[in-house]
Amino acid sequence: MKSFNLIFTFLFILFAGLQYNDPDPLLWIPIYLFAAFLCWKAYKGIYHKRLMWLGLGLYGLYAVYLFLDKNGVLSWANEHAGESLVTSMKAEKPWIEETREFGGLLILMAVFAVNLYKAPKVQGRR
């Protein structure tokens, strides 16, 4: 678990840095840095379970929003035939950006879920 959390600490810091040119960096930089912080603490053996649950809940709610939004994942899948997500982002194709963001949230939530599952069973209140 130490290597898992160390790898994701650095990946989430990298992802936060890549958000600098994103249309909404003030939302996504803190999202990724919050996850990097929790992974770093887990690497150090400190599992902030309440914060992970909070992140899992908030990211889950935002993922549902991105999934159902008029330019979200359903729109990308149904109205745009699952258009490639690795093309350049254009303002006239917001469904690509929202679907990418949804994927980022799934990664974040998966990492939190793994940490919550693998966290030591007996630990001080955090």
Give the per-residue pLDDT at 32. 96
Spatial separation of the C-alpha atoms in residues 110 and 77, rounded to whole Å: 22
34: CB partners within 8 A, 6+ apart: 51, 55
Q: Tens digit of pLDDT for each residue in 12-47?
A: 999 999 988 877 889 999 999 999 999 999 999 999
Q: Tens digit of pLDDT for each residue in 60-88?
A: 999 988 888 777 666 666 665 555 555 55
Are 108 and 27 in contact by the 8 Å Cβ rule? The answer is no
Are 3 and 11 in contact by the 8 Å Cβ rule? The answer is no
Spatial separation of the C-alpha atoms in residues 77 and 50, rounded to whole Å: 34
